[in-house]
Amino acid sequence: MESLFSNIFQRTPIFKKQLLQIEELKIELEHLKRDKNTYMTWVPPGHYYSPIPSLEEIKLKDKEIFDNIPRELPGINLNESAQVDLFHQFQQYYHELPFSDHKKEELRYFFENPAYSYSDAIILYCMIRYAQPKKIIEVGSGYSSCLTLDVNELYFHEKISCTFIEPYPELLLSLIKDSDKEKIEIIPSKLQDIELEKFSELAAGDILFIDSTHVSKFNSDVNYILFKILPYINSGVYIHFHDIFYPFEYPKGWIYEGRAWNEDYILRAFLAYNDSFKIVFFNTFLEYFYKDMFISKMPLCMKNIGGSLWIQKL
């Protein structure tokens, strides 16, 4: 009798609808459980055990953090005079800049893009022409890749071997020429999945260009770079880090919008008392303390001062 009533109820529209809703709730509950385990936090953001800072605590030290720009940093050789000397060498290349604010038909790169603009781009252009690398490996690709390919084509007859490591290559593929795809190497993988031997291809004078996730955490690309790749690569290789700001602190607006990156800090720790690497060019350091020099000699850099750090392995 019980099974008879059950069969009758299951055939009624209202009961069938309720059964469907119950099943949907079960599925939603499973998804919530899965997401909770995926993004589980031991303590809430802002807690003193959390890597995500408390904005209220930052406000208490706002002026101390953001208004105090020291000329020197303990334990770090900023190599200031050598940076200035390199700036003066870059001037000859600056006067031959081929790029404009907006897209030219014959070029891939243009300054008014949302990711890699004036100062960063100009110094990358100058550095490639100065270093004359035979090989460039780029980690994190897009508009910077366009600049590299343009410089390679215009000044090096495409003799520089270019490798682009980018787990999400859709933007890169949309920006480059179809003919580029046969001449360059694109590796659509996370950096952490690339064997160290790949970086032995870089010799003195070559460039390792890094635009990472900017976060040091378990199994992150930042950890892989600092703990594995940089100790492994050959002496003389130039290394570029993007979104690094002097004095190894993020812009105020980024902090207050909740951008809790930490690459700036761990890179500062890496360079402190480190005689195996030297600072070659630090955009925001120079643009802060030598602003008039930039305005006079490389004024386009001041349209967007960017945030690039160039170092070299000794």
At 237-258, the pLDDT tens digits run 999 999 999 999 999 999 999 9
Residue 190's pLDDT is 97
Q: Which pTM does this prediction carry?
A: 0.88
> Percent helix, strand and coil across the chain, each rounded to 5?
50, 10, 40
pLDDT category at 11 given cuts 50, 70, 90 is low
Collapsing DSSP to helix, strand or coil, 176 comes out as: coil
Residue 232 has pLDDT above 60, yes or no: yes
CB 301 within 8 A of CB 120: no
Q: Which amino acid is at 169?
A: P
CA dist 117 and 26 (Å) reads 49
pLDDT per residue as tens digits for the range 120-137: 999 999 999 999 999 999
Domain boundaries, the chain: 2-38, 71-313
Residue 296's pLDDT is 98
**CATH architecture assigned to 71-313:** 3-Layer(aba) Sandwich (3.40)
Question: pLDDT over 70 for what percent of the chain?
Answer: 92
Residues with Cβ within 8 Å of 183's Cβ and at least 6 positions away in sequence, in order, are 158, 162
pLDDT per residue as tens digits for the range 31-64: 766 666 677 889 999 999 999 999 999 999 999 9
**Rounded average pLDDT over 212-222:** 97
Residue 39's pLDDT is 77
